[in-house]
Structure 1
Amino acid sequence: MTTMLVTGATGTLGRQVAERLGAEGADVRGLSRRSPSYAVDLRDGKGLDAAVEGADVIVHCATTPRGDDRAAGFLIDAAERAGTPHLLYISIVGVDRLPLGYYTVKRRVERMIEDSGLGSTILRTTQFHDLVLRILSGAAKLPVLPVPSGVRVQPVDSGEVADRLAALALPGPSGRVPDLGGPEVRGLTELAGTFLRATGRRRRVVPVRLAGKAYAGYRRGDHLAPGHATGTVTFEEFLDHRHRHPA
């Protein structure tokens, strides 16, 4: 039986990846700070060797706004000591183009994995529907709903990303694989209207022009993958499913 270690196993993506791998008959170890069996904080790496020992594949879904490279360093070192043959990493479209701190760190982690000598697979995806919903939900707490003007997004369903990761985990290392993007590239202003209708809220959507290189990159579409629109679940379908199956 193949043993799979999934980091971030209680998160939006990691939980789904663990479920899919388990359904395929793998022995799945779910690693997170709150895991009942493999409680590890990747920020200090304590207990990581025991979790990694004997794992055939590590699917690295854990992420944090700060310290992703430090956490990845601990994980790579543990994988090297254990002789793990395959490390699968989820990254983001545009990490090599957008001058954004979080993206810069994600790109650094990609390089760390590529340079480690471990067998690896790296998948980049566009933003999740969940992220777009979180942004719009937060903005809707104001009397008006502000959105960055001229910014388009290509949100993808996290379940489809989980399907792809589970499929990539089963064979051997594949290197950098084709990006996975959502089915549609749409303006944030348009999606804000979709969100308001779906949630029955009434707000005026106000496009706001921002400053900075990162904003300019978003306006250029450096975070998009229109040539890899292989996802199928639209934002409307995602919202409808959320309404019918609230978390």
Structure 2
Amino acid sequence: MTTILVTGGTGTLGRLVSERLRADGHEVRVLSRRAQPYAVDLRKGGPGLDVALEGVDTVVHCASSPGGGDEKAAAHLIAAARRAGVGHLVYISIVGVDRVPYGYYRSKLAVETLIEESGLDWTVLRATQFHDLLVRVLGLLSKLPVMLLPARVKDQPIEVAEVADRLAELAVAAPAGRVEDMGGPEVRTFDSLARAYLQATGRKRAVVSLPLRGKGYEGFRSGGHLAPEHAVGKGTFEEYLGRRFGGGHGG
């Protein structure tokens, strides 16, 4: 039996990874800012992190914040993992972090570099956006009577449970470095995804696509965040919407 620490273990992905590992008989420690007994803010570090890592064989690093602080959190985690003699650090990243000049992506890429240069044995998996993240974005965009979308942008959403299965698999395997990306089953226009969301939630909105400016937008428009050659996901966006919203009355 392996002792595995999952950072961000109460989040959308980390919770599922923890469940899979426990189901396979591993001892799992969940680390987050509020989850006892391993409540630690990775951005601050501290002695609680050393306690959480004592006797741990593998760390699955799912904790992340689009608001900033990922690099500092990773530095604290790596230093503590070295002190504890952790044998394997697994990190979930995002497809396109090296191609799309977007602030959060730059931070994720910087964390990848920290891990690669940490002296620890490591594995990094990049995935496309999760279905639930896309729904949160579309939910915000649909608050206005007119739904404004970035023009000529596509997406390739993937089922988070499939990524969790892959991470759990990697956590108990030998360190593999950068593994093949995971992409959703379909590359879709943002417009088609928005219309599927509106239909599933029973909302009626005018949908207007607007061209934007900036290097980040150009990176997304050129498809830097897509992995059509690694469309290994099975669950479609419509299937996710059906489970979440049912027959169009979830709005």
Out of 170, 193, 203, the position equivalent to 2:205 is 203
Distance 2:138 2:131 in 1: 11
Alignment partner of 1:172: what SS? coil
Instruction: Deviation per CA, 1:90-143: give whole Å up to 9, x if none.
Output: 000001111111111111110110011100000000011111101100011001
TM-score of the aligned structures, taking structure 2 as reference length? 0.96
Please provide the CA RMSD for this pair.
Answer: 0.9
1:17 matched to 2:32? The reply is no
1:92 matched to 2:94? The reply is yes
Instruction: Deviation per CA, 1:63-100: give whole Å up to 9, x if none.
Output: 01201000000000000000100000000000111111
Gaps of 5+ in 2: none
Distance 1:33 1:117 in 2: 26
Residue aligning to 2:7: 7
Alignment partner of 1:227: what SS? helix
The 5-angstrom pairing of residues 57-206 of structure 1 reads 57-65=58-66, 66-206=68-208
Shift of 1:171: 1.2
Gaps of 5+ in 1: none
Shift of 1:198: 0.5
User: Sequence identity, in percent?
Assistant: 60
Task: Give the AA of the match of 2:26.
Answer: A
The 5-angstrom pairing of residues 34-45 of structure 1 reads 34-45=34-45
Tell me which stretches of 4 or more aligned residues in structure 1 moved more than 3 Å.
Answer: none
Distance 1:208 1:135 in 2: 16
TM-score of the aligned structures, taking structure 1 as reference length? 0.98
Alignment partner of 1:122: what SS? strand
Task: Give the AA of the match of 1:165.
Answer: L
Task: Give the AA of the match of 2:25.
Answer: G
Distance 1:159 1:140 in 2: 26
Residue aligning to 1:55: 56
Alignment partner of 1:38: what SS? coil
